[in-house]
Structure 1
Amino acid sequence: MANIKDVAERAGVSVTTVSRVLNNRGYIGKETRKKVEEAMAEMNYSPNQIARALQKSQSYILGMIVPDSNHPFFSELIKYVEMYANEKNYKILICNSLDQPKKEARYLNMLSENRVDGIIMCSHTLDVDAYKQVSFPIVTFDRIISNQFPYVACDNFRGGELATEHLIELGCKNLLHISGPLKLDLLANRRADAFKLSCMKHNVHYEVIEGSNDNLTFEYFTDLIIDKISEDLSKFDGVFCSNDIVAYALYLYATENGIKVPEQLKIVGYDYHSFTRMLQTPKLTTISQPTNRLGKVLSSTIMNMIENKDEETINNTVIDVELIKGHTT
């Protein structure tokens, strides 16, 4: 069987260059990369991932704990994390916490027992000490667990500001925000902060209804709307929803009950994931969180922490959002 030295000789390069191509690290010219890849194909060379992992004391496996992989936003985020991690020869273990502390604790133990190299946390239901006891790097998405763990997030405050000011600019005087669970320390709650401040700034009447993450299904959000705002919906002329599923459920409820959107009620969502982009009627007005960019930064951050363990600098990343205008405003 051919080895890495044989490939280097065939391609006319050093063993180090072949290693860089295999691990996709460092600068490699296009022609050099092409020669190495052609040499590997000609010699039917396949690197021994297990041997490489043992040599570096790495598993090349990442854990990713999400609230619900069936949710359109998280399914899309998982896709991009896996895609960019795969470019560096890492594999992903996906765990659904369903926002249940016992499940999340079991998954943390399971990932530790399987010697993953690091974890991307998109869920946070446990005490901080539970995460600090983990012996490998952690990066969080949209959550501040501890100042020893970096986070990656979109600019939630700016997103809330864009959504609210858009509604106000369109003449809305009575606004409602349907938020997520405000009792949790989520960066997403900055959307509600921006909503309140923008309404106060422009002297606009507002109310906030707090949702829950106990169940992320479409039926749950429909029930939330019916239970909490059905009787009072007519008094609002604009609603900023915490995500696009809420916005779509609200649109359906309003139209089924004779409330015209956007003439009588304007609706802004949040996320602009695959579900939203697929919708033709209506095309939601929403705030776009770039899942491609988020996936790339999350994967690169955790891999950098794994491969540079001695660095003590914690770098948080905040990514810009954008207002996408549709038919609901």
Structure 2
Amino acid sequence: MSQPKLSDVAALAGVSPTTVSRVLNNRGYLSEKTRSSVFEAMKTLGYRPNAIARSLQGRKSQLIGLVFPSVAHPFYGEMAYRLESHLADAGYKTILCNSGDRPEAEQRYLDMLLANQVDGVITGAHSQLVAQFPLMGAPLVTIDRAETGKAPNVRCDNYDGGYRATSLLLERGAKEPVHITSTASEVNLRLRGYRDALAEHGITGRTLELGFDTPHAHKMEMIASYLDQYPTLDAVFASNDIYAAMVLSCAQRLGLEVPTDLQVIGFDGAPYTRAMLPHLATVMQPIDEIAQRAVARLLHAIAGQEDDLDGAEVLPVSVYEGSTLRQKQPDRVSLD
């Protein structure tokens, strides 16, 4: 099956090939209706402008788009900072987009990135829109997402992190743990690791799903209410350090002693979180290494060297035990 051409896009959009070219290169005045028609035709046909040809014609922008849910989140903020630093070292500037995990916001940002003729995009957004938008006329690399087969993906070993965090809680005496996460989907590898570790110990466990776009205050109330509703809970594996911090705050409100009454372990280990909560046990992602590998994959793709769209780079995690876990009990020595 032949690849769609610019003339095919023009025919479907009901405009001239010159107009399609002007949309792609952001030249001259074009109505929003015309732009939307061209973008929709590109999406329908699966048309992708030749980024290599643009480079040979001297039209590389040296711009990279970064699309993340919110850099207010310590993990995404640190990731954006590391990506920007490594891209700057390679001679690129960045356009940072905070999508809030809203598909409509991501669509607006993608239109803007197209108009600015970015040379590539790195995204950690959770909605399916960005990862399934192969029409940028530039390569796409994803970070910490489920594989889509449409772009290279760089992430930590979320399954192993979930498994190790849960196993550690159980080793330290947890009997009734709960996993607090945004969504309990089938592609949630941290949740899968949690469940597999529990299954090995014959424990069912619980899961509290907070949602991605639930307001912060409401998430706090959901956690406090859950802990109050199930007073026998004795351990929490939080899917990120923000949720773990919320648990610590709610435990204090409810008069629960950590780790005596309630053990807590988070996930991410961003530097600012570690500085503010040095006592928090957490699974630490190799943030800078993820950023370096994502930039390397993107630069290879820009140079026409990236062919493996299914490729996922899975980097190992480490565990910081802090003091929100019970102390490991010494092995008993037999006197027999």
Instruction: Please tell me the TM-score bracket, short chain as reference.
Output: 0.7 to 0.9
- After superposition, residues 114-263 of structure 1 pair within 5 angstroms as 114-127=116-129, 131-144=133-146, 146-183=148-185, 189-215=188-214, 217=216, 219-232=217-230, 234-263=231-260
Partners of 1:277 and 1:288 in 2: how far apart?
10
Contact 1:119 / 1:139 at 8 angstroms: preserved in 2? yes
C-alpha distance after superposition, 1:206-232 (max 9, x if no partner): 111112110474x34312312444321
- 3-state SS of 1:94 partner: strand
Contact 2:227 / 2:233 at 8 angstroms: preserved in 1? no
Partners of 1:193 and 1:299 in 2: how far apart?
28
Q: Which residue of 1 aligns with 2:302?
A: 306
* 2:290 equivalent to 1:294: yes
Contact 2:123 / 2:130 at 8 angstroms: preserved in 1? no
Gap regions ≥5 residues in structure 1: 1-52
How far residue 316 of structure 1 moved from its aligned partner, in angstroms, is: 1.9
Structure 1 counterpart of 2:270, one-letter code: H
Partners of 2:132 and 2:267 in 1: how far apart?
31
Distance 1:78 1:215, change over 3 A: farther
Distance 1:124 1:59, change over 3 A: same
How far residue 205 of structure 1 moved from its aligned partner, in angstroms, is: 3.9
Contact 2:224 / 2:251 at 8 angstroms: preserved in 1? no
How far residue 56 of structure 1 moved from its aligned partner, in angstroms, is: 3.9
Structure 2 counterpart of 1:125, one-letter code: S
Structure 1 counterpart of 2:143, one-letter code: F
Aligned pair count? 271
Overall identity of the aligned pairs, in %: 31
Range 147-156 or range 119-128, more displaced: 119-128
CA RMSD in angstroms, aligned pairs only: 2.1
Q: Which one of 265, 271, 274 corresponds to residue 277 of structure 1?
A: 274
Runs of 4+ in structure 1 deviating by more than 6 angstroms, as ranges, are none
Distance 1:257 1:264, change over 3 A: same
Partners of 2:182 and 2:156 in 1: how far apart?
16
Partners of 2:312 and 2:138 in 1: how far apart?
18
Partners of 2:162 and 2:116 in 1: how far apart?
40
Partners of 2:245 and 2:131 in 1: how far apart?
38
- 3-state SS of 2:267 partner: coil
C-alpha distance after superposition, 1:168-211 (max 9, x if no partner): 1111111110112134x75xx10101111110111124111112
C-alpha distance after superposition, 1:107-160 (max 9, x if no partner): 111101100001011114245795123321101111136213110010000000
Q: Report the TM-score when normalising by structure 2.
A: 0.76
Q: Which residue of 2 aligns with 1:35?
A: none
